[in-house]
Structure 1
Amino acid sequence: MRERKLLHTSEEAKILGTGVANRKVSVLEFVVPEGATYLLRNAAQLVMKLFDAGGSELPPSSFVYLYKRRKGEDGEVFLTKQSYAPFFDLSAGEQRNDKFAKGTRVDLGVAPGARFTEGDAIQVWVESPAVVDLTHANTRFELTVGLE
């Protein structure tokens, strides 16, 4: 199976806005393009460097949630809640290193993972004491999915 890295700057990425401090809000979504199918595998690689509007890295007490939104439906299906603590103070390269992989992998709790078909969306929600700013120059959000 081929892999694809979804970046917050990818053409299928849509920034939904900035966060709100101390509230869980949707900030980003990846819509599966026409004719494609993505598999978000259990233990998929996730790389995150998230910043607030002032340029400081989000605090380690922050959480990132992944949801699935099916095409034509209003609600989302919860996939996982990731603590930002394992990502805090690690460079993107260090996060890809096997030494840190245990804390920086997506744990869906189901095998083989979640399947997304054309028009479905992977939504990213953030809950943090700070307001997340995905337009900050040093921001990195990278999620590896399989292509079926």
Structure 2
Amino acid sequence: MDSTALKLFLTQQQEAHKEQLVFLQQQQEKLLETILKKIGTQTDHTSILNSLNGRIATFKYNSEDGETFDRWFGRYEDVIKVDGAQLDDASKTRLLVTKLDKHEAEQFRNHILPKMPAEVNFEDTVAMLKKLFN
């Protein structure tokens, strides 16, 4: 191989290498962008849950004082549905179940056996809680 051919070969190799580097850099940028979007979404989701959790009182059933689920849910339904609109159904259900006092949560879990609370959608959870605590 003469020097001209060698020089041409090395130039072609260098160009191919540059193209590979540009391609890899673009792929890394896309991956980083995807990861950052997911982290942002998770942070938003967590901050919404934390905000709602702090604004919603724990439900404790007391029929003598009129503390029924209907009355409690009437106070917080908009907070959950409007302020929590970005949350998926499962997250709203988990939030609702975590706001039940110890006895009410146990009674609800016993009522839905053999299912777990995560297996019951939000609307069905609300309907069951109304049935149990009204």
| TM-score higher than 0.5 | no
Which of 1 and 2 has greater Rg?
Answer: 2
- Which has a greater percent of strand? 1
- Which has a greater percent of helix? 2
Q: TM-score, normalised by structure 2?
A: 0.30
| Structure with greater contact order relative to length (CA < 8 Å, sep ≥ 6) | 1
